[in-house]
């Protein structure tokens, strides 16, 4: 019996030949996107939001690449992500967006991390911890100006200046978060800016931060000390009603494991939800919903109909999915690709080229953010660039 020798990737991850799909992450494009955002930030410090494993791209790769580009401040959602970021960025400022859980103060202090405090209780706990430590440690305060999700209410924000606890720690940042910044003419943007301005005015001297990716591109907004882009760094379009100013960062390819012809009136996939209206050629690829490709991208209907469903580039041609997305497989109608141009073992593109993360999201009834952050753990990951 011959032994299978697979080259082990430098990352220690899954070898390409052994994976169903290969994820390409372009760290130079990531760095270039950070610089583009910085150039649009009007002099504000440009941080990077690297929560959810840097939107699926890998904290351990993305954070060093962004640091080399000049980024000094990172935001994550969880304390565990913050420790990962700290490990690869020893000198950076790292904020934890989801707030302070009781009893975690010592971990924040140990790793020099900053909580984003979003309630009076969290402010009291952080102040108490700092008093006990005898040290004014840094934190951000988050005021909710419209999301009704996380942060102090606007009323609480306006009375913050009277709270004694503010003397016990260093408020390094006062922040809020846009509800719909990607809708540039949504009146909520202006209302949130105004509410935030009122709170800012009551707490002079504290650096302020409001814009996410899309917020950076809103016109007529005040100058802020710091902006917090996430999605746009990873190639998502922060200006959906205009051309995407960002470079694509993520590419996804999958291998064809089988090709077959089906006859008119044959169905394809679980529950027979796709029907061939004539003889069709089907390619089966080795990626499925267990890899984070949404089942909602399934193609249900008849071949040839204009279905809002997942699409792949096969030999450079757009081909629609056929039938339900399975756990580990997707079936694609490749009839329109000349027969000799597609064979077993070929790769098809699921993200990349003209297939943007935004379109992939739309075709699955979701947003590109969910596509990126769902990118699965079974892919072979290949990285390029990241040296400057």
Ligand X SMILES: *Cc1c(COP(=O)(O)O)cnc(C)c1O
Q: Where along the sequence are the contacts to ligand X (CB under 6 A)? A: 49, 51, 97, 177, 212-213, 228-232
Query: Would you say 56 or 229 has its CB closer to ligand X?
Result: 229
Q: Taking the CB of residue 359, how many other CB atoms lie within 10 A of it?
A: 15
Active site residue 161: no
Which residue is closest to ligand X by CB?
230
218 or 313, CB closer to ligand X?
218
> What strand order describes the sheet that includes 267-268?
267-268, 274-275, 301-302
CB-nearer residue toward ligand X: 72 or 295: 72
Report whether 149 belongs to an annotated binding site: yes
Structure tokens at 239: 């200006």
Axis crossing angle, helix 59-69 with helix 79-88, rounded to the nearest 10: 50
Min dist CB 128 to ligand X, Å, is 25
Residue 46: DSSP 8-state: E
Name the strands in the sheet holding 138-142, side by side, starting at the edge strand that comes first in the sequence.
45-46, 226-227, 208-209, 170-175, 138-142, 114-117, 93-96, 73-76, 48-49
**Min dist. Cβ of residue 142 to ligand X (A):** 7
Angle between helices 27-40 and 59-69 (to 10 degrees): 50
CB of 15 to ligand X, least distance (A): 32
Beta-bridge partners for 209? 175, 226
Does the active-site annotation cover 270? yes
Q: How far apart are CB 55 and ligand X at their closest, in Å?
A: 7
C-beta closer to ligand X: residue 51 or 281:
51
Tokens of 349: 């593109």
* Catalytic residue, candidates 161, 167, 270, 279: 270
What's the CA gap between 122 and 115, in Å, rounded?
Answer: 9
* Residue with smaller CB distance to ligand X, 92 or 319: 92
Shortest Cβ 97–ligand X spacing (Å): 5
Query: Phi and psi dihedrals of 69, rounded to 5?
Result: -70, -20
Active-site residue set: 51, 270
Per the annotation, binding residues for substrate are: 149, 327
Per the annotation, binding residues are: 149, 327
């Amino acid at each position: 019996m011959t032994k299978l020798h697979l080259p082990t990737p430098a990352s220690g991850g899954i070898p390409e030949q052994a994976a169903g799909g290969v994820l390409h992450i372009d760290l130079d494009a990531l760095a270039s996107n950070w610089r583009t955002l910085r150039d649009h930030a009007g002099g504000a410090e440009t941080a990077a939001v690297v929560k959810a494993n840097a939107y699926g791209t890998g904290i351990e790769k993305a954070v060093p690449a962004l640091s080399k580009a000049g980024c000094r401040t990172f935001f994550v959602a969880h304390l565990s992500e913050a420790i990962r970021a700290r490990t690869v960025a020893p000198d950076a400022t790292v904020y934890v967006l989801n707030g302070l859980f009781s009893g975690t103060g010592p971990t924040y202090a140990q790793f020099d991390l900053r909580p984003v405090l979003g309630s009076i209780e969290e402010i009291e706990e952080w102040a108490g911890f700092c008093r006990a430590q005898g040290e004014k440690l840094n934190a951000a305060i988050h005021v909710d100006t419209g999301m009704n999700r996380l942060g102090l209410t606007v009323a609480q924000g306006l009375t913050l200046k009277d709270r004694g606890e503010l003397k016990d720690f260093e408020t390094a940042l006062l922040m809020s978060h846009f509800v719909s910044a990607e809708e540039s003419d949504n009146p909520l943007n202006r209302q949130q800016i105004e509410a935030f301005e009122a709170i800012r005015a009551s707490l002079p001297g504290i650096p302020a931060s409001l814009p996410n990716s899309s917020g950076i591109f809103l016109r007529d907004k005040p100058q802020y000390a710091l902006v917090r882009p996430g999605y746009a760094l990873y190639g998502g379009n922060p200006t959906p009603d205009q051309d995407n100013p960002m470079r694509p960062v993520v590419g996804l390819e999958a291998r064809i494991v089988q090709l077959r012809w089906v006859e008119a009136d044959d169905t394809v996939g679980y529950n027979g939800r796709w029907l061939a209206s004539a003889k069709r050629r089907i390619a089966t690829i080795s990626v499925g919903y267990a890899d984070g490709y949404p089942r909602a991208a399934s193609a249900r209907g008849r071949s040839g109909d204009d279905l809002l469903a997942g699409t792949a580039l096969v030999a450079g041609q757009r081909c629609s999915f056929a039938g339900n997305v399975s756990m580990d497989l997707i079936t694609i109608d490749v009839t329109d690709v000349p027969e000799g141009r597609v064979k077993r073992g070929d790769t098809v593109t699921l993200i990349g080229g003209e297939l943007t993360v935004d379109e992939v999201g739309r075709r699955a009834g979701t947003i590109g953010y969910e596509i990126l952050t769902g990118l699965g753990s079974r892919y072979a990951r290949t990285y390029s660039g990241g040296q400057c």
